[in-house]
Structure 1
Amino acid sequence: MKLYYSDVLSPRKACAVAAHLDAPVEYVYLDLARGEHKTPDYLKLNPNGKVPTLVDGERTLWEADAIMCELSRRAGADLWPDDAERQIEILRWLSWDKQHFGRTCGELYFEHIVKRRFADAPPAPDKVERAMKHFHAHAAVLDAHLSERTWLVGERLSVADFAVAVALPYAQSMQLPLDAFPAVQRWNARLETLDAWQHPFPQRNETPSATA
């Protein structure tokens, strides 16, 4: 299997799951600043021109959440369980993340990190203010859910945890007020004990153009 990635937000969760499972993947780094995700050859694999993409023989899979589930399925792991009830719960949190928490975190990641890294531009205060209001609302929902739980779904780690928490390692750079959400803080701290969460990307000989 080949996993095409770059060291930005969405591929981080797929790479973290691959590392956590010690999946037999060959990592292929794409330099976004050089437009390597927009080349004709790559667009044949992923017509969206996005990362990550998983290529397994004749099969090509894009979208990080689907890739996480496939890696877990291939490994026979419980991150994407066989139990249909847990699957539905995981899908609920993946959907919620796409529409709410992850969407808002993505806006703040773009303003504080992507713009600086790729355009040397400052964040837009009005966009940060709007996104931060949404962050407080969505983080409150997450904090309440996690107040008496170890992980998002049941008492076992799942792909939902990798997905929903993907921006939290950048909390300081994104100026996220995690102190206001103690259950989210505790959950994030548990994830930080995982080596794959701390170091999701494979080592590369090249030095990235910037650090996010």
Structure 2
Amino acid sequence: MMPNWKITLPLFLLLLFITRYYDFFYLYLPVRSFTLGGDYEPTMYSFVIYNYLLKLLFYIFKFLIIAIILSGGIFLEGNTNKTQIASLKELISLAILGEFVFFIEYLTKFIYLTFIYTEYRLIDYENFYLFSLYKLFDIESTSNLAFLFQTLNIFECGYIIVLIYGMYILQFTNIKKSALVVLYSYGSMLVIWILVMTYFKL
């Protein structure tokens, strides 16, 4: 049984606000002021509009696209071993649930920059990908492969695992089939996204 979106969505909105607020006011602003100087003092209004609501619109679009792609994967698979096809609302709920994995990533960033590596620079803040191939191989941020190595991280793997298990609960009685559908639907979208972003860095 998947968690109800009436629970996951408000919790997601709350955690998104808390993480964006802490990240902006306690991690970004201090190092920005030190690096760039100036009298930049954003108001709560500007933060909500430009740093929270715009990010929220991005997530709404992301959840909808992922749900549509997973729905397409179910349709192409055909035999789901379920009497009822998962609804778009259920798939959106699954996409929201998976996103909670990335709040763990934000938490590691907050802990690392607040208590461990406290004298970080603006470039360190902007290129913080602690559990990724980007960090493992020490790739330069200007490299054409930077986005690829940034995306290949332990949290993205966790997100995919949540999608696989969620599809198994919602639609398939076979975890292997669920994994295949997620990998060739969401996985294909992820590859295309990486290629597009890499192209624009060329």
Normalised to the residue count of structure 2, the TM-score between the two structures is 0.32
Computing the radius of gyration from Cα coordinates, the structure with the larger value is 2
Higher relative contact order (CA 8 A, sep 6+): 2
